[in-house]
Amino acid sequence: MTKSALAAAFRWHASWPAWLLGSLVAAYTVGLILKGDADSELFDNVFATLTRWVPAIVCWLALLTVDGRRGEMFLATAGITVNAVADSYFYFVVHNSGVPPFPSPSDAGYLVFYTLMLGALGVLVHRQLQGLSRTVLLDCAVGASGTATILVVILGPLAESATKGPETLGGTIVTAYAVLDILLAATLAGLATSRGLFVGRRWMLLVAGLAVFTGADIVYFLTDSGALSLPRAPLEICWAGGLALIALWVYASVRPEGSRSRTPLAGSALLMPGLATAAGLAVLILGTRTHVSTLAVVLAALTMTLATVPLAFRQRVLRHQARTDELTGLPNRRALYSESTVRLAAATRSGTALLLMDLDRFKEVNDSLGHDVGDRLLIQVGLRLTRQLGPGDLLARLGGDEFAVLLAKADAQDAIVTANVLRAAIAEIFMLEGIALHTNMSIGIACYPDQGADLNGLLRKADMAMYKAKSSRAGYHVYTSADDSDFGTRLRTLHELRVAIKTDQLVLHYQPKLELKTGEVRSVEALVRWNHPCRGLLQPVDFLPLVEEAGLMHEMTHVLLAQALDQAAVWMLRRIRLSISVNLSPSSLLDAALPERIAAMLEARGLPASVLILEITEEYLMQDYDLARASLTRLRATGVRISVDDFGTGYSSLAYLRDLPIDELKLDRSFLTPMQDDPRAAALVASTIDLAHSLDLRMVAEGVETADALTELSLYGCDQAQGYFISRPVPAGELVTWLADRGASFRTEDTDDTEDTEDDIRVSI
In a domain, residue 757? The reply is no
Question: Max CA-CA distance within the chain?
Answer: 110
In which band, very low, low, confident or very high, does the pLDDT at 582 lie, cut at 50, 70 and 90? very high
In a domain, residue 209? The reply is no
CA 696 to CA 581: how far, in whole Å? 19
From 317, 350, 375, the end of a domain falls on 317
- Provide the whole-model pTM: 0.47
Q: Are residues 370 and 350 in the same domain?
A: yes
Over residues 319-342, the mean pLDDT reads 82
Domain assignment of residue 707, given as a range? 495-737
Report how many domains make up the chain. Answer: 4
Starting from the edge strand earliest in sequence, which strands make up the sheet with 402-406, in order? 394-399, 402-406, 352-359, 441-448, 476-478
Q: Is 285 helix (H, G, I), strand (E, B) or coil?
A: helix
In a domain, residue 6? The reply is yes
Query: What pLDDT score does 140 carry?
Result: 67
Query: What pLDDT score does 680 carry?
Result: 86
Q: Are residues 573 and 654 in the same domain?
A: yes
> What does the pLDDT look like over 651-702, one tens digit per residue?
555 556 777 888 999 988 888 878 877 888 888 889 889 988 988 899 999 9
Q: Are residues 542 and 618 in the same domain?
A: yes
In which band, very low, low, confident or very high, does the pLDDT at 745 lie, cut at 50, 70 and 90? very low
Q: Are residues 518 and 381 in the same domain?
A: no
CA 666 to CA 681: how far, in whole Å? 16
Q: Are residues 502 and 450 in the same domain?
A: no
> What does the pLDDT look like over 588-633, one tens digit per residue?
777 778 889 899 999 999 999 999 999 988 766 666 667 777 888 8
Query: What pLDDT score does 713 carry?
Result: 92
> What does the pLDDT look like over 491-508, one tens digit per residue?
777 788 888 888 889 999
In a domain, residue 381? The reply is yes
Q: Are residues 86 and 167 in the same domain?
A: no
Long-range contacts of 665-669 (CB under 8 A, 24+ apart): 665/692, 665/697, 665/698, 665/699, 665/700, 666/615, 666/700, 666/701, 666/702, 667/699, 667/700, 667/701, 667/702, 667/718, 668/702, 668/703, 669/702, 669/703, 669/723
Q: What is the CATH number of the domain that holds 327?
A: 3.30.70.270
In a domain, residue 687? The reply is yes
In a domain, residue 746? The reply is no
Q: Are residues 566 and 430 in the same domain?
A: no
Q: Are residues 570 and 621 in the same domain?
A: yes
**In this structure, which amino acid lies at residue 111?**
L
> What does the pLDDT look like over 547-562, one tens digit per residue?
877 778 888 888 999 9
Query: What pLDDT score does 376 carry?
Result: 87
Q: Are residues 502 and 617 in the same domain?
A: yes
DSSP state letters, 221-249: HHHHTTS----HHHHHHHHHHHHHHHHHH
Q: Are residues 723 and 602 in the same domain?
A: yes
Over residues 341-351, the mean pLDDT reads 77
Q: What is the CATH number of the domain that holds 583?
A: 3.20.20.450
**In this structure, which amino acid lies at residue 337?**
Y
In a domain, residue 489? The reply is no
Q: Are residues 290 and 361 in the same domain?
A: no
Q: Are residues 589 and 731 in the same domain?
A: yes
In a domain, residue 97? The reply is yes
